[in-house]
């Protein structure tokens, strides 16, 4: 760790770090109406590119029929971007590989293809690790994994452990609990405001959030955000 502007940091890089994100649709060949899914994905990525333009170095785009990627210059919106894609594509399941590292070629801001470097290698390795974990495990594995160039693995291990805990919470949500949790994530506000939006009682919202371990999920997300947001702030 290094002190940067008086703040204790999780990262120190001797290069300019980027965050590459590769998304991979799970069991894509088994899905019905694949053309419609691609249309939905293309629309979701277009919205992401517009909404999060300030942190995007190369726009998200579909690179293969079941895969897409984008490049960020800051880590503070990584989970927001991933969860927004998850919400828009649900119930289609997607793996997300996050790679933190150098980009050693020119970056085309309009499309996340053509550029290369350890950032993308890390993201690709994360995707392959997720696939391997799915094959060897009988239980539901996490759908998000991060790999960090030059990391001594302690930070990546911590983050990937939290991603796994988040997956356990999400996988135990009922459809109603998922709807309420995602409404909170998307719109914010109080339980009363959420109840009005969903036309239910405030007590129903509270019960759903507690039974779905929403606040443990939220705290886990905030921990990840605290770590990742420093990537764009670190002095090299």
DSSP letters spanning 164-193:
HHHHHHHHT--HHHHHHHHHHHHH---HHH
The per-residue pLDDT for 83 is 93
Q: How many CB atoms lie within 10 A of CB 17?
A: 24
At residue 121, the 3 state secondary structure works out as: helix
Out of 16-20, 85-89, 188-192, least confident range: 188-192
Q: Do the Cβ atoms of 71 and 18 come closer than 8 Å?
A: yes
Is residue 21 within a helix (H) or strand (E), and if so which, with residue range?
Answer: strand 18-25
- What are the φ/ψ torsions at residue 160 (nearest 5 degrees)? -70, -30
Task: Please state the rounded mean pLDDT for residues 5-14.
Answer: 62
Q: Do the Cβ atoms of 24 and 127 come closer than 8 Å?
A: yes
The per-residue pLDDT for 22 is 97
Q: Which residue has the tokens 């594995």?
A: 141
Task: Please state the rounded mean pLDDT for residues 20-44.
Answer: 90
Task: Please state the rounded mean pLDDT for residues 100-124.
Answer: 88
The per-residue pLDDT for 176 is 93
Structure tokens at 190: 């109080």
The per-residue pLDDT for 35 is 86
Q: pTM value?
A: 0.90
What value does the mean pLDDT of the chain take? Answer: 88
Sign of the Cα pseudo-torsion (157, 93, 24, 46, in order): negative
DSSP 26: T
Task: Please state the rounded mean pLDDT for residues 144-149.
Answer: 94
Q: Do the Cβ atoms of 141 and 133 come closer than 8 Å?
A: yes
């Amino acid at each position: 760790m290094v002190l940067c502007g008086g703040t204790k940091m999780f990262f120190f890089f001797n290069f300019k770090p980027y965050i590459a994100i590769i998304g991979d649709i799970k069991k894509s060949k088994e899905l019905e109406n694949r053309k419609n899914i691609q249309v939905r994905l293309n629309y979701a990525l277009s919205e992401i590119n517009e909404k999060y333009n300030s942190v995007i170095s190369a726009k998200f785009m579909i690179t293969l029929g079941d895969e897409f990627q984008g490049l960020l210059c800051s880590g503070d919106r990584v989970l927001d971007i991933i969860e927004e894609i998850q919400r828009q594509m649900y119930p289609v399941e997607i793996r997300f590989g996050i790679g933190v590292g150098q980009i050693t070629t020119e970056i085309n801001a309009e499309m996340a293809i053509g550029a290369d470097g350890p950032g993308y290698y890390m993201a690709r390795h994360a995707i392959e690790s997720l696939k391997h974990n799915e094959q060897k495990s009988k239980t539901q594995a996490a759908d998000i994994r991060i790999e960090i160039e030059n990391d001594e693995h302690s930070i990546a291990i911590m983050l990937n452990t939290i991603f796994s805990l988040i997956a356990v919470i999400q996988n135990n949500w009922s459809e109603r609990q998922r709807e309420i949790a995602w409404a909170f994530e998307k719109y914010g506000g109080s339980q009363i405001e959420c109840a009005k939006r969903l036309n239910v009682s405030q007590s129903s919202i509270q019960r759903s959030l507690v039974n779905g371990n929403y606040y443990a999920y939220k705290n886990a997300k905030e921990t990840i955000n605290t770590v990742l947001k420093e990537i764009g702030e670190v002095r090299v």
